[in-house]
């Protein structure tokens, strides 16, 4: 166990690992290996060398590839108004779908632990970066993936400060140090399903595709709706599994081309089993933590009943045959089990400019004695007031675009470029300036001929009022939205309240963000 004295603060806001810790965590291991090597050499001299195929290896326990009960991530809860925890970033072995991977992870697993807290509470994290030193220097073009072992922390969807040691994705957390994170939520924060992931430009895509993601639940939504309170909660974190010939993710070529995904997973499992009784209602908190692609979800012979999107309660239940969910988005669904049987939860075919990955995500097994649970007929008033035309103080347009080689499918990733307003990301440039307290209407346009994009903005949620020129009958609150290719257009309104500072607008298809499709927004107070 690491002792508090093993971590020493430095002048950059991080913490250096002490000589004792380096000895305990690195040189000590080397000494053991050296000793073991000496013993093996001595055995060889005496003719006792073990030449078996497992020489020097610790055999893994066999892990069934598929069809095992769904395992949900470890849960860490707040106490006395604070959720205080440690997150360690390091390489770890991971068995999934019959494949043994060696990838970057939180706490040695994938996904990381689920964090549960309440509005008004504070999240305190000691982020320990135990990844090895970077092998490369900072490139001249920072929109070329680089320095894969630098990291940081983003509380996706949080209405919180983007400055200092809070939800500040401009921080750089280099290997070999520990860093303090403190994010305080306002007392009126929306309650629902959120998540966390790294957001260091250059390395975020590699790290997220490795499984460095985790859920955050802000508790208390629907507490007065008995049909939802009585339903068992399940956390379903959707990811795309990708790896190279060595079971690793060490080069951007592993992630790009955009059809690189090997298979899909839920909670780090391939095709897990979800058990229900006939008539039972469960609440599925679904998070699309994929690094790149939309998923069109279809539960065989069952409807999906949406009660919240992106951590924000709906005012009425939406009955769906299928759910389209983009990277970064969340959907809280009520599922009522039908008759006894086995049903597939599928990612159905969907064209986002390139084919979304498809396959059986999970199996719903319905068995046992029937139960008589109900779906809610009505939901409480949603938490955020609709934005009226008369409130708007400014309008602006943001354009997503890209260039690609003529032979798109055969092109190397370095032949592609991704832009917002004709420019690649530059952390030293302010792209949008918004006065604190403004209420703005933004039009997001996608001129890219080949791909849809996923618009995401930090700190403040937005209310979508129209898509492709068609007004929504009921404007919808989100923090991420799909903008279709070939001139697709989304119009939303947002209140820029409470927090000044610099934060990001970007495409949440992380291949695109990493290659330049990101901007800075500065909210200022006069």
Tell me what the pLDDT averaged over the chain comes to. Answer: 90
The arrangement of strands across the sheet holding 114-117 comes to: 75-77, 114-117, 214-218, 192-197, 154-156
CB atoms within 10 A of CB 123: 24
**For the chain, what is the largest distance between any 2 Cα atoms, rounded to a whole number of angstroms?**
89
One domain, residues 113 and 131? yes
- 18 pLDDT exceeds 60? no
Residues 99 and 216 in one domain: yes
- pLDDT computed for residue 406 by the predictor: 79
174 in a structural domain: yes
Identify the helix (H) or strand (E) that includes residue 518.
strand 518-524
* Residue carrying the six token digits 């008539």: 279
**Are residues 353 and 412 located together in one domain of the fold?**
no
Q: What is the DSSP letter of 432?
A: E
Same domain for 255 and 356: yes
Chain centroid to CA 89: 15
**Residue 415 belongs to some domain of the structure:** yes
Question: 211 phi and psi, to 5 degrees?
Answer: 105, 15
d(CA 376, CA 317): 8
- CB of 98 closer than 8 Å to CB of 262: no
**Residues 167-179: what's their mean pLDDT?**
98
For residue 382, tell me if it sits in a domain.
no
198 and 251 assigned to the same domain = no
What is the spatial distance between Cα 285 and Cα 290, in angstroms, rounded to a whole number?
A: 15
Q: Encode pLDDT of 324-354 as tens digits.
A: 999 999 999 999 999 999 999 999 999 999 9
Q: Quick one: 308 and 414 in the same domain?
A: no
Domain count, the chain: 4
Asked if 348 and 295 sit in the same domain, the reply is yes
Q: Which of 442, 480, 463, 475 is nearest to 157 (CA)?
A: 480
CB contact at 8 A, 517 and 469? no
Let me know if residue 427 belongs to a domain.
yes
Per residue in 419-465, pLDDT (tens digit) is 999 999 999 999 999 999 999 999 999 999 999 999 999 999 999 99
Is 236 among the domain residues?
yes
Q: Which domain holds residue 258?
A: 228-366
Are both 474 and 414 inside the same structural domain? yes
Question: Considering the domain boundaries, does residue 311 fall inside one?
Answer: yes
Give the percent of the chain with pLDDT over 90. Answer: 85
| Whether pLDDT at 23 is above 70 | no
DSSP-assigned letters across all residues of 445-466: EE--SS--EEEEESSS-EEEEE
With residue 30 as reference, give the H or E element that holds it: helix 28-45
Whose CA is closest to 363, among 301, 435, 296, 438? 301
- Is residue 376 in some structural domain? no
Counting DSSP H helices and E strands in the chain, the numbers are 5, 33
CATH code: domain of residue 426 = 2.60.40.420
Residues 290 and 315 in one domain: yes
Give the pLDDT confidence score for residue 60 in this predicted structure. Answer: 57
- What does the pLDDT look like over 53-92, one tens digit per residue? 455 555 556 668 999 999 999 999 999 999 999 999 999 9
Q: How many CB atoms lie within 10 A of CB 30?
A: 10
Cβ atoms of 121 and 80 within 8 Å: the answer is no
Last residue of a domain, one of 221, 250, 267: 221
379 domain-assigned: no
Pick the last residue of a domain from 333, 366, 399: 366
**What does the pLDDT read at residue 62?**
65
Q: What's the rounded Cα separation, in Å, for the pair 419 and 405?
A: 15
Q: Both 212 and 234 in a single domain? A: no
Residue 183: which residues within 8 A CB-CB, separation 6 or more? 122, 123, 155, 158, 160, 161, 166, 167
Q: Are residues 442 and 467 in the same domain?
A: yes
Spatial separation of the C-alpha atoms in residues 225 and 152, rounded to whole Å: 37
- Domain co-membership, 197 together with 236: no
The span from the CA of 171 to the CA of 166, in Å, is 10
Which of 61-65, 257-261, 364-368, 414-418 ranks highest by mean pLDDT?
364-368
* pLDDT score of 474: 96
C-alpha to C-alpha distance for 39 and 95, rounded to whole angstroms: 31
Residue-level pLDDT at 61 = 62
């Amino acid at each position: 166990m690491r002792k508090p004295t093993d971590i020493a603060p430095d002048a950059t806001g991080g913490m250096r690992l002490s000589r004792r810790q380096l000895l305990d965590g690195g040189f000590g291991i080397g000494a053991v290996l050296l000793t073991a090597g000496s013993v093996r050499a001595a055995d060889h001299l005496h003719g006792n060398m073990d030449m078996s195929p497992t020489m020097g290896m610790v055999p893994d326990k066999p892990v069934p590839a598929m069809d095992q009960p769904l395992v949900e991530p470890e849960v860490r809860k707040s106490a006395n108004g604070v959720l205080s925890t440690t997150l360690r970033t390091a390489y770890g072995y991971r068995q999934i779908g019959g494949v043994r991977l060696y990838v970057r992870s939180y706490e040695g697993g994938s996904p990381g632990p689920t964090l549960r807290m309440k509005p008004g509470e504070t999240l305190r994290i000691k982020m320990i970066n135990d990844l090895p030193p970077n092998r490369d220097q900072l490139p001249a073009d920072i929109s070329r993936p680089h320095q894969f072992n630098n990291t940081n922390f983003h509380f996706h969807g949080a209405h919180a400060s983007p400055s200092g040691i809070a939800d500040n994705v401009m921080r750089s957390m280099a290997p070999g140090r520990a860093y303090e994170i403190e994010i305080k939520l306002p007392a009126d924060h929306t309650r629902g399903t959120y998540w966390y992931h790294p957001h260091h430009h250059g390395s975020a895509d590699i790290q997220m595709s490795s499984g460095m993601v985790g859920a955050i639940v802000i508790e208390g939504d629907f507490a007065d709706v008995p049909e939802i309170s009585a339903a068992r909660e399940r956390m379903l974190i959707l990811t795309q599994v990708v790896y190279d010939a060595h079971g690793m993710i060490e080069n951007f070529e592993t992630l790009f081309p955009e059809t690189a995904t090997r298979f899909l997973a839920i909670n780090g499992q391939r095709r897990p089993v979800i058990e229900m009784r006939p008539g039972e209602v469960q609440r599925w908190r679904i998070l699309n933590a994929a690094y790149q692609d939309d998923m069109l979800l279809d539960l065989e012979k069952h409807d999906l009943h949406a009660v919240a999107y992106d951590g924000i309660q709906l005012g009425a239940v939406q009955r769906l045959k299928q759910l389209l969910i983009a990277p970064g988005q969340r959907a809280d669904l009520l599922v009522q089990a039908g008759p006894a049987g086995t049903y597939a939860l599928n990612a159905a075919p969907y064209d986002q400019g390139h084919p979304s990955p498809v396959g059986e995500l999970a199996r719903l097994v319905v068995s046992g004695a029937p139960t008589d649970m109900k779906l809610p007929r009505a939901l409480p008033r949603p938490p955020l007031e609709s934005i009226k035309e008369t409130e708007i103080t400014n309008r602006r347009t943001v354009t997503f675009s890209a260039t690609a080689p003529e032979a798109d499918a055969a092109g190397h990733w370095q032949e592609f470029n991704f832009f917002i307003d004709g420019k690649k990301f530059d952390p030293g440039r302010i792209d949008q300036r918004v006065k604190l307290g403004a209420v703005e209407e933004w039009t997001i346009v996608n001129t890219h001929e080949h791909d849809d994009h996923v618009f995401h903005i930090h700190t403040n949620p937005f209310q979508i009022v129209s898509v492709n020129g068609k007004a929504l009958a009921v404007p919808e609150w989100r923090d991420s939205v799909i903008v279709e290719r070939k001139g697709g257009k989304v119009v939303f309104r947002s209140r820029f309240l409470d927090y000044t500072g610099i934060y990001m607008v970007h495409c949440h298809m992380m291949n695109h963000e990493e290659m330049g499709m990101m901007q800075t927004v500065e909210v200022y107070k006069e």
